[in-house]
Structure 1
Amino acid sequence: MCGASEAPNAVAFTGAGHAFSFDQLVARARAAAEQDYVPPYRPAPDVVRRINYEEHGKLRFRTDAAPFGRMGEGGAYPVTFFHLGEFFPKAVKMHLVQEGVAREIAYDPALFEMPEDSPAHQLPRDSGFAGFRLQEWHGASDWRTQDWVAFLGASYFRAIGASGQYGLSARGVVVNAAVPGQDEEFPDFTEFYIEQGDDPRAPVKVYALLDGPSITGAYAFSLTRGLDRSDGVHMEVEAELFLRRDVARLGLMPLTSMFWYGEYGRERLNDWRPEVHDSDGLAMWTGTGERIWRPLNNPSFTTVSAFADENPKGFGLLQRDRNFDHYRDGVMYDRRPSLWVEPLAPLGKGHVELLEIPTNDEIHDNIGAFWVPQGPAKAGDHHRLHYRLHWQDGEPYPAENIAQTIATRIGRGGEPGKPRPDNEVKFVVEFDRPAVMQQIPWGVFPDVVVSTSAGELIRSFAEPVPGGNVWRATFDLALPPETIAELRMYMALEGRPLTETWLYQYDRRNLWP
């Protein structure tokens, strides 16, 4: 292994390799669930704590040492590694798999560009890595600076979409999120095994071992990038989970995002930008074929919404608004990827759960979406999952015969020129899909089919928006103080739905409008 003062041109390994298979990883996860939980290794906590966000950003893996960074090394996508830091203090074992043999990569500080005054110099030589990322194909001119997938922190991972931007994240599993009186658990991917071939069109295989106080698991990821970057990233995932103990809320195939405010909600915030969010809605394709859109909220109180279903065809957190002028921000919120979950095996009965947490800044992920199986999650339970994740600009399977929601606007209720009742709020929802909207005969107005769980609906009507094939549904809701209303609406013509179903939770306690 190279000394700390040298700049190595390759990684070294800790010892001889060993035979590896996914079945072995599953067996290890199953056996671990029958043992007491042992927390992962945290090297020199006092030192790692000093590697704050700024210091961590200075620790860059040397791309000259990246596995698969050159032709003939047996892989198409170079692998680079993340250093430990204040927010990523746990050592994660990294392995390369070739011809069925796994070898563990040895940590060496010389693998990183490291300032002379960096606290990282004081770490022990067995510190390990925090995570890894895959760079673009080594035949591309930008591979040293551009990565396309990253695994870092607990069981979090993310990928860029078709527009080349990172945004929301996925997780291996969610345990006890937003359960009153309980802290959320964050199980860790403790070991990774990376396997790939020379063909950049072929998927990269990543295997991961999961461990946490209440759950263990084994994951097999098949990551497809390809040479056509406009298609985003696709991941096929197989996972087997084993519960050590009872869990109050078990979330499978979870997604995590940020929503500060959109075209609604800005009134109670103090920021110069029109909108700030990584995702603007939860989309669902139910087992019965219904298409649903639920705009996201930044509530005043933590909110959990459940959407019951059986064998859903998919769900996802999407960034539908792609207009830069709606954000006006150089971090390019208009290019953030959408993430769609496509089950490849029946899920049975359960519900899609949407978690919305108050936030006062864009730096906090405050949105979660995941599948919760029906029934209690008990110690000894075994879950087998098979699904695909699509990191793209839009949905991989958009409906061809219905219009999509493109905007949700909220304002004072009532009519212009008349007294505005304090308890009335106006909702304006816009739908766009030219092929569908062009079917509406001139002079004919669709029905607005709307219902509420609380309060009174006063007025509703549909009208075309001048200048395009956009139609607008407008209705007023009278709602007493301290009341929550679950709203459901779609537009129909002669009884046939023209649009997806728009759902919204309106809470008078959110202080706006």
Structure 2
Amino acid sequence: MADRQRREFLQLAVGGALAASLAPSGSSSAAAEPLGQPVPFSADTVVKMAVELASKPFKAPEAPLPSIFSDLTFDQYASIRRVPGAAIWSDQKLGFSLEPLHRGFVYTTPITINIVENGMAQKVIYEAANFDFGKLEPPAVLGDLGFSGLRILKASEQGFEDAAIFQGASFYRARAHAQPFGVTARGLAIRTGDEPGEEFPLFREFWVEKPNPAANTLTLHALLDSTSVTGAFRFTLRPLEATIIDTETTLIARAPVDKLGFGAMAAAYLFSALDHRLVDDVRAGVYESTGLQILSGSGEWLWRPVSNRETLQISAFSDLNPRGFGLLQRSRSFDAFYDDDTHWELKPSLWIEPIGDWGEGDLRLLEIPAQAETNENVIAQWRPKAGMAAATSLMIAYRQFWCWSPPSRPPLASCVSSRRGKVGNRQRFAVEMQGDLFADPAKAAAASADVRAAPGKIVSVRLFPNKDRRSVRVVFDLDPGSETYSELRLTLSVDNQAASETWLYRWTA
């Protein structure tokens, strides 16, 4: 069951709730969904609900769905669109509007959506008239089908544009202005890549606070449920130069649980100049993220390029109180991809900064073999060393930056390109480090490289400084001998002082 769920979620993730096919609502020609009876809502409402839910056995949400929607293909589901003007708050000049998303395709699990105003919450009631079903011919009377998720739009000079989408289990994604959707985040991951199989927590219900138009923030509460845990989430979204989402989480364990994943994120990666498994493609590269950036608790900047592997690869970077991590898209040139349709160079980077101390654990990176770009096969998450005992609670908070470039950056030269190819029995790597220091020809010429391999042997290291590019390119050969893998590490220094972030990579045969 877990394997099937993973395949489904990896396939649908790049579609991102098919957001790209859903145009923002335009002029008003329909009314937003009706609201139910108001009930009291306060800051601790969702926490109390999570505690109550944890005292009972898990039961998956159930709601009948006409077969015309449950049996949809991807394209048929994409044809279901919101009627222009049907977005909640679209005519109230609040800076945001909301579009509940239809159920169908693999998005059959219902989720309740509520609007909160003046301490009262009202359920959003499904209204078929607010959807254009295209060539589909649903029954005349559908009743209240509920929703599969929520799309958040922000006001812009052109009207409204996408800011974030929450849909499918606990998956969600956001973007900065002028970006397409890309990397996907998850509220909570459990046993990703571990036996007896992954558990997929889901959001059962949302509460969206009506925003103050002067604040430029939107607050979303969510109730999480799963076999092992329940949880209360509070997301505070601020669409600035980057879209910032502050996440505050309270988890309650139904049963003993370990192998938790916080700040989980996933990106699609098919091929690049670093790997050549799939090269029969007119494009130069296909990937949403170039690599995993880590700012360790000790202040060391690590860069780990990601790759599409022959076999599942799991890497763990042990740390104490990490200061930041994320899957970043550093390839911002069209020439890196030559893809006029997807424009991978525009995809968001996702950078996370923990709030408070996270203790001991590791940054876990999974690289899953993929044959198609519709699979989000690169997964990163923080895995705490300690799990949770039954009936205990845990609080964790962090800030997400969905951005062109993270606000925190290495003060030293950073990797802008990683390439690999075979030369005889050796593996040749070319790693380019770029930084203002190397604009000085004397500094660039004085750079030295420390390249290590374990196992295997580094047999050649050459440096090529380039003043115009403010970079030093390091070309080295790995002789793996009879080994089938090697952990590589590269750093640059000038006058015995660190001059670059630490480049890490696992070569596999």
TM-score, shorter chain, exceeding 0.5: yes
- Deviation string 1:112-146 (CA, Å, 9 cap, x unpaired) is 1123633x437841210111111221x63332xx3
1:301 and 2:311 correspond: yes
Return the alpha-carbon distance in structure 2 between the equivalents of residues 257 and 86 of structure 1. 22
Equivalent residues of 2:128, 2:142 under 8 A apart: no
Post-superposition shift, 1:49?
A: 2.4
**What SS is found at the alignment partner of 1:451?**
strand
Report the counterpart of residue 136 of structure 1 in structure 2. 154
User: Aligned partners of 2:390, 2:141: CA distance in 1, in Å?
Assistant: 38
Cα distance in structure 2, aligned partners of 1:166 and 1:185 = 25
Q: CA deviation at 1:30?
A: 1.9
AA at the equivalent of 2:49: R
Q: What is aligned with 2:5?
A: none
The aligned residue for residue 221 of structure 1 is 235
In structure 1, C-alpha distance between the alignment counterparts of 2:293 and 2:501, rounded to whole Å: 10
Question: Is residue 2:34 matched to residue 1:12?
Answer: yes
State the alpha-carbon separation in 2 of the partners of residues 163 and 184 from structure 1: 34
Q: Which amino acid aligns with 1:455?
A: G
Q: Distance in 1 between matches of 2:478 and 2:237?
A: 46
More displaced 10-residue stretch of structure 1: 94-103 or 17-26: 17-26
Contact 1:163 1:393 in 2 (8 A): no
Q: Would you say the 8 A contact 2:429–2:477 is kept in 1?
A: yes
Q: Spell out, residue by residue over 1:255-280, the C-alpha distance to the aligned partner (whole angstroms, 9 max, x if none).
A: 11111112221354322110000101
1:179 alignment counterpart: 194
Equivalent residues of 2:446, 2:495 under 8 A apart: no
Map of 2:374 onto structure 1: 363
Please give the alpha-carbon distance, in whole angstroms, between the structure 1 residues aligned to 2:214 and 2:334.
32
- Give distance in 2, aligned partners of 1:223 and 1:43: 33
Q: 1:456–1:64: structure 2 CA closer, same or farther, 3 Å change rule?
A: same
Structure 1 partner of 2:492: 491
Deviations 1:155-186 (A, max 9, x none): 11111124422111111011111114x23121
The answer (yes or no) to whether the contact 1:246–1:378 under 8 Å persists in 2 is yes
In structure 1, C-alpha distance between the alignment counterparts of 2:40 and 2:434, rounded to whole Å: 54
Q: How many residue pairs align between the two structures?
A: 480
**1:18-37 to 2 correspondence within 5 Å?**
18-37=39-58
Query: 2:92 is paired with a residue of what secondary structure?
Result: coil
For 1:155 and 1:498, the matched residues in 2 are separated by: 40
Distance 1:343 1:9, change over 3 A: same
Structure 2 counterpart of 1:215, one-letter code: V
Is structure 2 residue 210 aligned with structure 1 residue 208?
no
Q: C-alpha distance in 1, partners of 2:385/2:181?
A: 33
Shift of 1:52: 2.2
Tell me the equivalent position of 2:504: 503
- 1:428 counterpart residue number: 430
**For residue 4 of structure 1, what is the aligned residue in structure 2?**
none
What's the counterpart of residue 394 of structure 1?
405
What are the Cα deviations for residues 36-84 of structure 1, in whole angstroms up to 9, with x where unaligned? 0010124236443222211211211224222111136xx3211112100
How far did residue 439 of structure 1 move? 4.5
Gaps of at least 5 residues in structure 1 are 1-6, 414-419, 509-513
Partner Cα separation in structure 2 for residue 112 and residue 155 of structure 1: 24
CA distance in structure 1 between the partners assigned to 2:49 and 2:140 by the alignment: 33
| Paired letter, 1:274 | A
Deviations 1:188-230 (A, max 9, x none): 111011113242652100000001111211100110014xxxx
Match of 1:94 among 109, 113, 118: 113
Overall identity of the aligned pairs, in %:
29
91, 95, 101: which one aligns with 1:76: 95
2:170 maps to 155
CA deviation after TM superposition for structure 1 residue 377, in Å: 4.2
Residues 197-346 of structure 1 aligned to structure 2 (within 5 Å): 197-199=211-213, 201-226=215-240, 231-330=241-340, 331-346=342-357
- Letter paired with 1:77: F
Distance in 2, Cα, partners of 1:114 & 1:473: 55
Q: C-alpha root-mean-square deviation of aligned residues, in Å? A: 1.9
Q: CA–CA distance in 1 between the matches of 2:82 and 2:177?
A: 25
Structure-to-structure mapping, 1:462-501, within 5 angstroms:
462-465=463-466, 467-481=468-482, 483-501=484-502
Check 1:381–1:478 CA distance in 2 against 1; reply closer, same or farther (3 A cut): farther
Quote the offset at 1:481 in angstroms: 4.1
The alignment's TM-score, normalised by the length of structure 2, stands at 0.90
Partner SS for 1:64 = coil
Q: Unpaired runs of 5+ in structure 2?
A: 1-28
Residue 129 of structure 1 aligns to which amino acid in structure 2? F
Report Cα offsets for 1:229-249 as digits up to 9, x if no partner: xx1201111011122223352
- What secondary structure is seen at the aligned counterpart in 2 of 1:110? helix
Counterpart residue number, 1:112:
131
1:126 aligns with 2:136: no
495-504 or 28-37: which moved more?
Answer: 28-37
